[in-house]
């Protein structure tokens, strides 16, 4: 069996199963919500994002889960108008190996949109690995662990996004199939190449264009971290309403550095195609630190779900 090693264990999170289990169990989490089989959570080190991940998987209705389509952004390699699937048979976690659904991957590979990523790319990427221990922990009471289908996304034009939605749409109606987005939210600061702020505490989606300004134009009374939170929460509100069109418009207008913006777009389009009347429900939101000057930087994290 070809197993992807837990390359970030021991640095981004504990590689000791007892310590890791205690850490996860000590998070205050909501109870499972019936029908919550579309999830979104961050992928930073657990010191920063563990609480949000625990909220995400705390609400997960894993009772009937057989497979999880895990959509995440590529952080180290760029590729256009294809999506990459894992070449491994399982993902190593400190708790045990999480199986990959190789049969579904083989089926998806019949579509030319899908290709296999190299083992090196998979091992370098953290989008999926940071979710794997939580999936294992919250599903281990099930008779069988669900199998994951990691789907790595980079450059996708609107036509390729439609093809991906079409390819995934046969799966969403089956309650055994679950979908997880791995995404952080705003990456703010010069190190991320994004220092835009909102000039108005009452900015909305409809007034974004006129209220988004450079850091030099920031009003003194509106702290940077509060501007970042408002910018993110406008995005969360759009995802709550479930409009993929408004989501894309928001990204184009703001340039908000949401690393999983394309996976979010895909899931919103998939929900629309499925005819879901539900958008995302949000549980928690936080930032790695509170940016108060142009020298600071921060990353935002959010936890959420959709009931189907």
Residue 165: per-residue pLDDT: 98
278: pLDDT strictly greater than 90: no
Q: List pLDDT tens digits, range 29-70.
A: 899 999 999 999 999 999 999 999 999 999 999 999 999 999
Q: Which residues contact 11 (CB under 8 A, 6 or more apart)?
A: 45
Q: Cα separation of 198 and 287, whole Å?
A: 17
In percent, how much of the chain has pLDDT > 70?
A: 100
Q: Cα separation of 285 and 237, whole Å?
A: 13
Name all domains of the chain by residue range, CATH numbers in brackets.
Answer: 3-186+259-290+298-307 (3.40.830.10)
Whole-number Cα distances in Å, 191 to 11, 44, 297: 22, 16, 7
Residue 240: per-residue pLDDT: 96
Q: Which residues contact 78 (CB under 8 A, 6 or more apart)?
A: 154, 155
Cα 93 → chain centroid: 19
Token digits for 40? Answer: 């979104």
Do the beta carbons of residue 200 and residue 211 sit within 8 Å?
Answer: yes
Q: How confident is the model at residue 8 (pLDDT cuts 50, 70, 90)?
A: very high
Q: List pLDDT tens digits, range 74-109.
A: 999 999 999 999 999 999 999 999 999 999 999 999
Q: List pLDDT tens digits, range 260-273.
A: 999 999 999 999 99
Q: Which helix (H) or strand (E) holds 23?
A: helix 17-26
Token digits for 6? Answer: 């837990």
Residue 244: per-residue pLDDT: 96
pTM above 0.85, yes or no: yes
């Amino acid at each position: 069996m070809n197993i992807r090693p837990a390359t970030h264990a021991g640095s981004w999170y504990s590689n000791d199963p007892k310590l890791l289990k205690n850490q996860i169990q000590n998070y205050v989490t909501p109870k499972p919500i019936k029908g919550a089989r579309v999830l979104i959570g961050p992928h930073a080190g657990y010191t920063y994002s563990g609480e949000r991940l625990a909220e995400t998987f705390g609400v997960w209705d894993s009772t009937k889960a057989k497979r999880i389509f895990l959509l995440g952004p590529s952080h180290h390699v760029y590729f256009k108008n294809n999506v990459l699937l894992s070449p491994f048979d399982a993902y190593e976690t400190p708790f045990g190996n999480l199986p990959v659904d190789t049969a579904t991957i083989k089926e998806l590979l019949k579509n030319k949109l899908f290709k296999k990523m190299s083992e090196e790319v998979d091992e370098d990427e953290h989008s999926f690995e940071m979710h794997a221990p939580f999936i294992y922990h919250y599903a281990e009471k099930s008779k069988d662990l669900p199998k994951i289908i990691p789907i790595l996304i980079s450059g996708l034009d609107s036509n390729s996004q439609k093809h991906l939605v079409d390819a995934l749409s046969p799966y969403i109606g089956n309650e055994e199939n679950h979908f997880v987005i791995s995404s952080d939210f705003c990456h703010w600061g010069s190190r991320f190449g994004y220092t835009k702020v909102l000039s108005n505490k009452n900015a909305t989606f409809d007034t974004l264009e006129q209220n988004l300004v450079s850091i030099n134009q920031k009003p003194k009374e509106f702290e940077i971290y509060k501007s970042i939170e408002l910018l993110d929460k406008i995005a969360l509100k759009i995802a709550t309403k479930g409009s993929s069109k408004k989501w894309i418009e928001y990204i184009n207008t703001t340039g908000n550095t949401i690393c999983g913006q394309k996976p979010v777009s895909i899931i919103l389009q998939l929900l629309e195609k499925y005819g879901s009347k539900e958008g995302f429900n949000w549980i928690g939101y936080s930032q790695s630190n509170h940016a108060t000057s142009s020298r600071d930087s921060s990353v935002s994290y959010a936890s959420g779900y959709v009931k189907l």
